[in-house]
Structure 1
Amino acid sequence: MVQVDTAETGQGGADIPRDAGSGTWRGGLRRAILIGSRPGPWKRGPVLAALALLLGLVMLLHAKIPNRVGNLGSLVETFLPWFGLFVPVLLAGALWRRSAAAVAALLLPVMVWLNLFGGLLGDKSHPGGDLTLASHNVGADNPDPAGTARALAASGADVLALQELTRQDRGIYEKELANAYPHHTVQGTVGLWSKLPLADTKPVDIMMDAGPLAATKPADVTMEYNRALRTTVATGHGPLAVYVAHLGSARVNPRAGFWTAHRDRNAQALGEAIAAERNERVVLLGDLNGTMDDRAFDGITSRLRSAQDAAGAGFGFSWPAKFPVARIDEILVKGVRPESSRVLPATGSDHRPVAAAISW
């Protein structure tokens, strides 16, 4: 019987299976098939690419988001700068998936964010100024009103606006600020202290003048609880109309969503008062309980501009004091030029003070 060898003897006497070559060929074929079946870089990460485009569209079209359901549009606009944090998260996912499509899609939110907020990244302040203004919600629960007053006086502000003044603490602020500010007025829960004379001071009823919404004002609310005032500061360059306001609170409610009814009513009335102002030079100081990106303030921002946007460095977040996430304390101007704007160190309040220097 003739036997047929099924193996060959290699160097060193090792047997090499005759089908080793075919097995290697088959393994290579399988690897090639697997590699060929993988999606290319432009087909990977479709979900990431879609999320990047959605993020860009939300920021680009934020004014089109309706407020009919839970005031969603205003809620998005309140925290609009923070939407930029989603960009590095999506970028990390795109790099992990090696998705060229997702990386390309991220160009939209990056460009939109830079267009909206890129101007706030640099320092636009200038030295000097004819008048320094400061504003602070001192907080009804402030444990150290005297220390807060001394810190504000040390800021060097020529005109100082305070909000959320309580009956108990009003005397403390008047006593501590008397030496630095010989002129002052308090109307309800808001007040103004000035190194320059004041005239034509009056309360501004931002609830009564709210147009068709005035009917919702509680019957027991009187001017004793006024939250806004208007006065004229006599400067060496002429009269300056100054408004001080503390608008209603905004709250997130599981049932109602972003609840801003009182604040929006106050903003509408304040906008009407400013629209009727005859003085060409106007300043608004106050806690507006909202950011100027919010459409609720269109009646105000269409007439006044933010000192922080014009001459500040950074976003100017002022609330909450421990870790500010929103700029709801504002200095808005018309007819004067902001030279600088900044957030002052925290006091005993849950807000941080803000200050700005202006020139004629």
Structure 2
Amino acid sequence: MDGVTDAAGTPGTTAGAIVRRVIRAGLRPDPWKRGPVLVALALLLGLTLLLHASVPNRIGNLGSLVETFLPWLGLCVPVLLTGALWRRSAAAAVALLLPVTVWLHLFGGLLGDRSRPGGDLTVASHNVGAANPDPAGTARALAAGGADVLALEELTAQDRGTYEKGLAKAYPHHVVLGTVGLWSRLPLSDTRPVDLRTDVGPLARTKPADATTAGNRALRATVATDHGPLAVYVAHLGSARVNPRSGFWTDSRDRNARALGEAVAAEPNEHVVLLGDLNGTLDDRAFDGLTTRLRSVQDTAGDGFGFTWPASYPVARIDHILVRGVEPRSARVLPSTGSDHLPVAAAVDW
């Protein structure tokens, strides 16, 4: 006989069928027990977003590297969700609520357009690129942009004259110190270099600081506006590099950022605008000395994340406009020029 019959004569379940059912149940665990690796990865992602400031920098500057590309960690969510659906893991799907909630808390406010009409003054900044193949075209594009105050970084000795000539008609006032310059429709005064402590070591302690040389990367000037003097800083901080041996190398940039933060902290003018290529995103802890004293116009009045680098496919905003004592009304990324950076602009008022 293949089966058994109960007292009422109804065919029963064979022993083999019972065994097969038990095996199938063991091979297909409860949905809440499936995908433990996916659950762990989802929780790790959420905790990294939530506690990114606690990721240590001791090994390869890992904390700053994570914070540089922090918004992009959100792309891990659909990947993990796909895995959760494939594994039919209810636990993994629920665990993903943590990174989604934290990501929206950190960056959800940047998804929409936060701009408002108005603005007494338009400021712009552009790293024009030392290898720019068309500096004359870049100058024409910037002159047509309509900014009242324009900062340029990474000016080379051979291209400086091209920019001065191309911007002369639109901007009667300008100053260039080293590789940074400021062009303005309004009068400039009290122009001076800003010491970013680029030189370190015994030699730097013995020689006088002369930031007017070709190596100068920051300046400070006063712009005479209808509402009073405006302190404008232009800066190009040291580079950040990813090196297989040392990790995320940011030594000179971080030193420059600390020096710039100290300069801004000592600025007596209550109205301040900082323009420049900081070679980092503002989520990076290296810029705490600036972000605790100044506001990002992009975060306050921009549209989206405002990525600026690289120009061909921007993945990070490293070109910034930060303000104090003025109100951002709008912020935008301008069209590409011959540089590997995109220009940025903002309208502010009092």
2:62 is the counterpart of 1:72: yes
Q: Which amino acid aligns with 1:176?
A: G
2:271 is the counterpart of 1:284: no
Cα distance in 2 between the residues matched to 1:27 and 1:158: 85
Aligned counterpart, 1:112: 102
Which consecutive unaligned segments of at least 5 residues does structure 2 have? 5-10
Cα distance in 2 between the residues matched to 1:172 and 1:237: 32
Cα distance in 1 between the residues matched to 2:176 and 2:335: 24
Aligned counterpart, 1:29: 18
CA shift digits 1:31-89 (9 cap, x unpaired): 42134322101000000000000001111111111111111110110010000000000
Aligned-partner SS, 1:293: coil
Shift of 1:23: 10
2:80 is the counterpart of 1:90: yes
Aligned-partner SS, 1:232: strand
Correspondence 1:173-184 to 2 at 5 A: 173-184=163-174
Instruction: Check conservation: 2:2, 2:14, Cα contact below 8 A.
Output: no
Aligned counterpart, 1:320: 310
Aligned counterpart, 2:235: 245
Aligned counterpart, 2:90: 100
2:195 is the counterpart of 1:205: yes
Q: Comparing 53-62 with 213-222, which one deviates more in the overlay?
A: 213-222
Aligned counterpart, 1:229: 219
Find 2:264's aligned residue among 274, 292, 310: 274
Aligned counterpart, 2:327: 337
The structure with more radius of gyration: 1
Aligned counterpart, 1:81: 71
Aligned counterpart, 1:348: 338
Aligned counterpart, 1:304: 294
Q: Which amino acid aligns with 1:34?
A: I
Q: Which amino acid aligns with 2:71?
A: P
Q: Which amino acid aligns with 1:255?
A: R
Query: How many corresponding residue pairs?
Result: 340
CA shift digits 1:119-153 (9 cap, x unpaired): 10011001221001100000000000000011011
Aligned counterpart, 2:32: 42
Cα distance in 2 between the residues matched to 1:28 and 1:150: 81
Give TM-score, length-normalised by structure 1.
Answer: 0.91
Shift of 1:276: 0.5
Share of identical aligned residues, percent? 74
Instruction: Check conservation: 1:207, 1:214, Cα contact below 8 A.
Output: no
Q: Which amino acid aligns with 2:2?
A: D
Give TM-score, length-normalised by structure 2.
Answer: 0.93
Shift of 1:216: 7.9
Which consecutive unaligned segments of at least 5 residues does structure 1 have? 1-17
Q: Which amino acid aligns with 2:144?
A: A
CA change 1:216–1:348 in 2 (3 A) is: farther
CA change 1:69–1:165 in 2 (3 A) is: same
Cα distance in 1 between the residues matched to 2:197 and 2:161: 26
2:42 is the counterpart of 1:52: yes
Cα distance in 2 between the residues matched to 1:65 and 1:216: 35
Q: Which amino acid aligns with 2:135?
A: P
Cα distance in 2 between the residues matched to 1:46 and 1:59: 20
Cα distance in 2 between the residues matched to 1:308 and 1:358: 12
